[in-house]
Structure 1
């Protein structure tokens, strides 16, 4: 692969904010470049450009699982290369040439911003305990003797992530998408949503045959 692609810093999605925050991960756009697309993509190398190795490893493996569910072979970059290595032509020749990779899928943070998010007031029962779902914002209350507490504003961090796919045979971009995510308690929540949305978009755009 002739194009030198350097790692860009990625912010670990680990900032805590109120447990009542809504899920707000969405794709803001995607585009396929059919003229650069190989006839068949049989194996994809997943690269998350991050200095946070636990986040990078989890992200790559989740994307790999999503792709494999669509019948496409995939591997994460950390399966074959050191975490501090850059993805350039030399690294590709060293670590991945023998893997028969058809395309490289690369994700990185392109921007982040602070925002004030309104948190809805919580209704609660005066006669019984609350029951929580999944350890965060979803919960339900008993259906009688309800009162409520007012909503408030909580600062959150919005992260914009770009994902690009490149063909190995000509180094050209096959597909691109952009996403917007609000930090929640666990980076895994955002990664789970984002990988699902990304692979679905690749299917809809005809990148995955």
Structure 2
């Protein structure tokens, strides 16, 4: 379930960051814009997305350093909470004036990208590969990954519809809720594998 919830946000933001940047920052094409202006606006949004996505790399490097030191569960919970904070900042951006609007949007997405890779985007892979008893470890990890990709596919098809129907703010607020739910589910059903060898986990199963 945490991996499914994480993929809703990660793929939603990852796939549609340029669209959200253009829409929220007020750079959508309007009547009177020619094809050249449209291409220029899309290119500008893509450059903004590239800057934001750099935080994904920093986040995963931080996860490599911190996973064994702080524990998978703690990082996953904190990551989900950080994602919620970042998405809340981005969700507030459509209701602010410039330059606050752009600052909230970019800051929110940067916080989200960093925290998702420090937390659930990295830790779900680790936990799924460690938490199951040996006899079902492959099946368990495969099931977890396949269930997560349901969230990814669902996001790819449903996110544009919701973005068009509800707007950026409400959609991002929904992702805030899924991130908070991910933190709760992780903590409520936690099995910490940090510092344990696979044989200990197997006996515990």
Tell me the TM-score range normalised by the shorter chain: under 0.3
Larger Rg: 1
Higher strand share: 1
